[in-house]
Amino acid sequence: MDQNTIMLIVWLSVFVLALIVEISTDMLVSVWFCIGALVALGVTYIPGTPLWVEILVFFAVTIISLIALRPLAKKLLFRNKSQTNIDEIIGKKGKVIKKITELDNGEVKINGVIWTAMKMADADEILEETVVEVVAVNGNKLVVKEYIH
């Protein structure tokens, strides 16, 4: 076999291996190597191209595609990963319906739904009928503070 045939096999192998790794993950790990391998495979067809040029093209295209395309690919591929409903409640206002103390969680009603709530660590107890704002979610409990207009 001549050197071009060997390099065709090498670049196809790199492409297939990188593709297998990429398919087995969902993190955009090796698709960049696939792109570099395909371009290097194309360079192999240019007569008289030395091996070092093919390798240089492979690494250059891989690095350039990683830097240039990864942010765009992540934005497009992962844009549908939305926040859960619980994350959207942060910043909402509600009314305390069961007093929140240092030792006991209370209850807060927000948009007609009753949530278990705890106060921020440095806050005083929060009495019933007090308007509160959700500042965080801790497990399945809301962390609230008294809302000051």
Domain at 85-146: CATH architecture: Beta Barrel (2.40)
Q: How would residue 130 be classed by pLDDT, with cut points 50, 70 and 90?
A: very high
Q: With a cut of 90, say whether residue 48 has pLDDT above it.
A: no
Q: How would residue 79 be classed by pLDDT, with cut points 50, 70 and 90?
A: low
Q: What is the mean pLDDT of residues 127-144?
A: 92
Pick from 95, 90, 101, 107: which is nearest to 131 by CA?
A: 95
Percent of the chain with pLDDT over 70: 93
* Alpha carbon 76 to its chain's center: 11
pTM of the model: 0.52
Q: With a cut of 90, say whether residue 36 has pLDDT above it.
A: yes
User: 36: Cβ–Cβ under 8 A, 6 or more apart, which residues?
Assistant: 57, 58, 59, 60, 61, 62, 65
